[in-house]
Amino acid sequence: MSIENVREHFKQWNRENEIMEFETSSATVELAAEAIGVIPARIAKTLSFRGENDKAILVVAAGDAKIDNKKFRDTFGLKARMLAPEEVLEQTGHAIGGVCPFGLVHKLDVYLDISMKRFETLFPACGSGNSAIELTVEEIFQYSFAKEWVDVCKGWDQSEAQDQENVI
C-alpha cells in the first residue's frame, strides 16, 4: 500500500507518526487545503512528467502554481508532457491524488519549484488520497532526495507568503 511505503520512508527520520490521515478526501489541492485548513498555495503538489527513456520526472510545486511550458522546456530540454494516471502509478507507486516524492517504487529525479520557497511549511500528500504531512521546504528537499530547485512554474502569487496563517 502506497501510504505504507511513505511511512516506511519517513521512519529514517522518525517522522512516520506525523503523517495526517483525513476522514475526507485530500486528493486535490482544494480538498487538501480544506481538510488541513490552509490556503491552497501551501499544498505541495507533485506533478509527473515524461522524461528521457520514458522515466518520470517529478516536479513538486506550490498549490497555486501552474507549469510554464517554455520554462520547463528551457530547464529540462523536453516538452512538458504529463504522465497518464496508470503511468504515474507504475512509475511512483502512488495513485493520482496521493502522489508525492516520498516512498517511491523507482528512483526518480525529483525537482522542487521555487514557488514553494515563499512558505515556511507546506503540506505534501503521503501516498494516499486522504493524507499529508507538514514539512519545511528544507525538509521536503531533504526527504525527497531532490536534485535541485527549479523555476518552471507561473501563476503563483508571491504576496501570499505574507499570509501563511490558516484560513479557517
| Number of domains into which the chain is organized | 1
Q: Considering the chain, what percentage of its residues have pLDDT values greater than 70?
A: 93
Residue 157 domain flag:
no
Grid cell at residue 14: 522518525
pLDDT at 146 over 90: yes
Q: Rounded mean pLDDT of the chain? A: 93
Residue 158 domain flag:
no
Residue 116 domain flag:
yes
Q: Which of 116, 60, 61 is nearest to 92 (CA)?
A: 60
Mean pLDDT of 113-136: 97
Residue 166 domain flag:
no
Residue 155 domain flag:
no
Check residue 166 and give its pLDDT: 43
Domain range for 110 is 2-150
CATH of the domain at 55: 3.90.960.10
Q: Which of 18, 110, 42 is nearest to 102 (CA)?
A: 110
DSSP sequence for 16-72 = GGG-EE-SS---SHHHHHHHHTS-GGGEEEEEEEE-GGG-EEEEEEETT-EE-HHHH
pLDDT digits (tens, 9 = 90+) for 53-104: 889 999 999 999 999 999 999 999 999 999 999 999 999 999 999 999 999 9
Check residue 53 and give its pLDDT: 86
Residue 26 domain flag:
yes
Residue 159 domain flag:
no
The residue written with cell numbers 522515466 in the block is 55
Residue 101 domain flag:
yes
Give the span between the Cα atoms of 95 and 129, in whole angstroms. Answer: 8
pLDDT digits (tens, 9 = 90+) for 9-59: 999 999 999 999 999 999 999 999 999 999 999 999 999 999 988 899 999
157, amino acid identity:
D
